[in-house]
Amino acid sequence: MRQLIFITLMLCTISITSCKKESSGDHPNEEVMLRINNWLDSQKPVNKPYKTEYIDLLKENIEPVNIRIENLGNGEKFLIVPVKEKFKTLKKLEMNSVINLLLVIDEAGKIRRGNVCQYFPKQQGSAQTIPVNTFYKLYNNKELDCDGSFRFLSVTGRRLYQYDYESGKLKSMGIVKPKTNSADNAAGRINTCWEWYYVTTYFNSDGEIIDETWQYLGTTCDGDDCQDQNNAMLCPDSETGSGGGTGDSGEACCVNDPNIQFTSEQ
């Protein structure tokens, strides 16, 4: 009961309007849900129906009662919104993962950016929960209280990057990167295309870089409609351009470039 009251009070702090007292004590703050839904609607790209559908399904499968808050830093906080198990079935995501909508809010409670986060516990059958303050520790370079992988997607379903932890320490970080090329289409016009790679950087126990690998994921071109689920995981949200993981509004969560916090030096 104490924890429930604490979470309710914390949610009140991100609302401009006063927090209305609910008679049953376990209803979500309506203002918070309104902000989340409005922000998600604002992330819908033009002429990308598959990506719009992804956001709509995400909205329908939020578990608002269990929303919690963690610090991030520089006046920003994480708003961690659990996503229902049904969402994994609908989008054919791995069933052994825990999914959250991870949002960053400022001191006034405005949503600045956000991602979908899939957590894969290292031990199969382990508790399907993420320990409190995990995201704070992850983005402030602290050891975690859990092992496994944290895969980050945009709220449109686009694959972005992943952190892998072992014994509480960062073992590797992968990020999706494009390489530009050109291809002739059937009409003889030159299309700009992007070959997408999953670039993985490996670290030793001291945080020093020890290796890097490139894995080819697929190719997308100008005009792709992204209706294929696999292509949609790579296809940019904007009408043109590769996006690159940081260029499109709402794609980058927490830090604009996930590489900036990792270095071979202390």
Going residue by residue through the chain, which has 266 residues, state the pLDDT in tens, using 9 for 90 and above.
Answer: 444 443 444 454 444 333 333 333 344 578 889 999 999 999 998 878 888 999 999 999 998 888 999 999 989 999 999 999 999 988 888 888 999 999 999 999 899 999 999 999 987 665 567 999 999 999 999 999 999 999 999 999 888 999 999 999 999 999 999 887 655 555 555 567 888 899 999 999 888 999 999 999 888 877 655 656 666 677 777 654 444 333 333 344 444 444 444 333 33
pLDDT recorded at residue 163: 96
The pLDDT score that the predictor gives to residue 91 is 86
- The 8-class DSSP code of residue 83 comes to B
Displacement of CA 134 from its chain's centroid (Å): 14
- pLDDT at residue 28 in the model: 52
- pLDDT score at 117: 96
**CA count, 13 A, side-chain hemisphere, 265:** 1
| Predicted local confidence at residue 22, as pLDDT | 36
pLDDT the model gives residue 167: 94
Whole-number pLDDT of residue 127: 56
Are 193 and 222 contacting, i.e. CB atoms less than 8 angstroms apart?
A: yes
- The Cα–Cα gap between 78 and 30 comes to 18
β-bridge partners, 73: 76
Residue in the block written with tokens 């604002």: 42
Residue 101: CA atoms inside 13 Å, Cβ hemisphere, count?
Answer: 31
Q: DSSP 3-state helix, strand, coil percentages of the chain (rounded to 5)?
A: 20, 35, 45
Report pTM.
Answer: 0.77
